[in-house]
């Protein structure tokens, strides 16, 4: 390798290291881009109704903020009340369970008595896990300020992106060489179309899951059915893992009414998840995206490992965008052109060799003609 290649390699390594150090900032910027794409799509829908572009953007931002405020206003107070009641009911349930075990010990033979668990010993064994849970909760509460600041950063960036998207897009395109900028424009168009497709499909699936959850929880007479249904629809944005996260608070609140209700809620959510994964998502997402299920799961594991919960939440749009860039640049522009370039080079060499051969043959012919002409001139002079 020459000096220029070594300098290029060092510059690439330093750039990758810097990008890795600011990966969380880049992820927040990407979240703002996805959110701005969503609001821009909503603004276009409002423009079709006859609204001006500026007012449509402002109205879309207002609708989004009202939706966020309504989401927290609906879920947070209801969950606080229910989980406070749950914290009072769990000790009472443990006392009842302990009394039932003691009564059962008195009725059974002495040989079977040691196999009956003691609630007090179970509580002592579970105490370390409870302490860890409290420590995690305290860490979550203490880090809530950082989360709020990140959310505010995303909202501010979203407002800036949606206010003048063309300028930021041109700024990004200018990072590439001049001969490749038109190609980057086309790739960005594909990314925008794919993100809009994901947003449409995810919104439809989210609404249907929330609707089915609301009907099922209302039939089971579970408290805070609307809040739990909205939470189930929102967490459905996280493929594979979202439904598992949404069933836990629903089972906990159902425990307040009857011991059998958590099992009924589990069966309900399992049934809804089967409908969502086998019917809703294939029909909706198949028309919007073309991602294999294994690729989706692998991308979730990858992004949650390196980027945490935000990476898990953005795993699917990140995978969609990464797929387009890999397919267009690595596959089409590099790998597919690899053999073609080598063939073109070989043909050029062959053509060049033929030209050289023909040129050399013509020079030989011209030289022989000159010799014949000289001989004729000499003969004429002798005569």
pTM: 0.67
* pLDDT given for residue 215 in this prediction: 92
Quick: pLDDT tens for 47-91: 888 888 888 888 888 888 888 888 778 777 777 777 677 666 666
Q: What is the distance between the alpha carbons of residues 368 and 383, in angstroms, rounded to a whole number?
A: 23
Contact 277, 352 (CB under 8 A): no
* pLDDT given for residue 108 in this prediction: 65
Quick: pLDDT tens for 337-360: 776 655 555 555 454 444 444 444
Q: Is 80 exposed, middle or buried (0-12, 13-18, 19+ CB in 10 A)?
A: exposed
Q: Stretch 136-149: mean pLDDT, rounded? A: 57
Quick: pLDDT tens for 83-129: 677 666 666 666 666 676 667 666 666 665 566 555 566 556 555 65
* Mean pLDDT, rounded, of the chain: 75
Percent with pLDDT over 90 in the chain: 3
Find the farthest-apart pair of alpha carbons in the chain and give their distance in angstroms, rounded: 149
Lowest mean per-residue pLDDT among 186-190, 309-313, 338-342: 338-342
Q: Stretch 9-18: mean pLDDT, rounded? A: 83
Query: CB-based contacts of 265: which residues, under 8 Å, 6+ apart?
Result: 217, 220, 222, 247, 250, 251, 254
Is the pLDDT at 148 greater than 70? The verdict is yes
Packing angle of the helix pair 53-107, 119-142 (nearest 10 deg) = 160
Is the pLDDT at 268 greater than 80? The verdict is yes
Quick: pLDDT tens for 275-292: 877 776 666 655 555 666
* pLDDT given for residue 366 in this prediction: 44
Band (pLDDT 50/70/90 cuts) for residue 306 is confident
Quick: pLDDT tens for 159-170: 888 888 888 889
* pLDDT given for residue 69 in this prediction: 85
Lowest mean per-residue pLDDT among 28-37, 157-166, 313-322, 374-383: 374-383
* pLDDT given for residue 125 in this prediction: 58
Contact 241, 309 (CB under 8 A): no
């Amino acid at each position: 390798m020459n000096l220029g290649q070594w300098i290029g390699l060092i510059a690439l390594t330093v750039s990758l290291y810097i990008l890795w150090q600011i990966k969380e900032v880049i992820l927040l910027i990407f979240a703002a881009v996805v959110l701005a794409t969503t609001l821009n799509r909503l603004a276009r829908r409002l423009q079709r109704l006859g609204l001006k572009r500026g007012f449509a953007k402002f109205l879309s931002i207002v609708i989004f903020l009202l939706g966020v405020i309504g989401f927290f206003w609906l879920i947070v107070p209801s969950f606080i009340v229910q989980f406070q009641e749950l914290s009072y009911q769990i000790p009472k349930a443990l006392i009842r369970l302990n009394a039932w075990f003691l009564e059962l010990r008195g009725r059974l033979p002495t040989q079977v008595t040691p196999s009956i668990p003691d609630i007090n010993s179970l509580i002592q064994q579970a105490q370390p896990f409870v302490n860890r849970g409290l420590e995690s909760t305290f860490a979550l509460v203490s880090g809530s300020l950082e989360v709020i600041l990140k959310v505010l950063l995303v909202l501010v960036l979203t407002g800036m992106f949606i206010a003048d998207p063309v300028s930021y897009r041109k700024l990004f395109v200018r990072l590439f060489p001049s001969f490749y900028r038109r190609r980057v424009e086309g790739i960005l168009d594909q990314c925008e179309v794919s993100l809009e497709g994901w947003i449409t499909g995810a919104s439809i699936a989210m609404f249907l899951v929330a609707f089915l959850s609301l009907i099922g929880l209302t039939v089971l007479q579970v408290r805070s059915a609307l809040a739990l249904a909205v939470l189930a629809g929102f967490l459905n944005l996280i493929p594979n893992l979202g439904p598992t996260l949404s069933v836990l608070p629903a089972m906990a609140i159902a425990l307040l009414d009857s011991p059998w209700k958590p099992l009924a809620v589990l069966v309900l959510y399992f049934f809804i998840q089967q409908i969502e994964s086998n019917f809703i998502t294939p029909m909706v997402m198949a028309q919007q995206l073309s991602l294999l299920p294994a690729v989706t799961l692998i991308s979730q594991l990858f992004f949650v490992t390196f980027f945490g919960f935000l990476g898990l939440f953005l795993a699917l749009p990140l995978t969609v965008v990464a797929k387009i860039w890999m397919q267009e640049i690595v596959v089409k522009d590099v790998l597919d052109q690899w053999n073609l370039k080598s063939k073109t080079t070989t043909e050029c060499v062959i053509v060049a060799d033929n030209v050289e051969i023909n040129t050399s043959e013509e020079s030989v012919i011209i030289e022989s003609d000159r010799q014949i002409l000289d001989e004729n001139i000499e003969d004429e002079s002798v005569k």
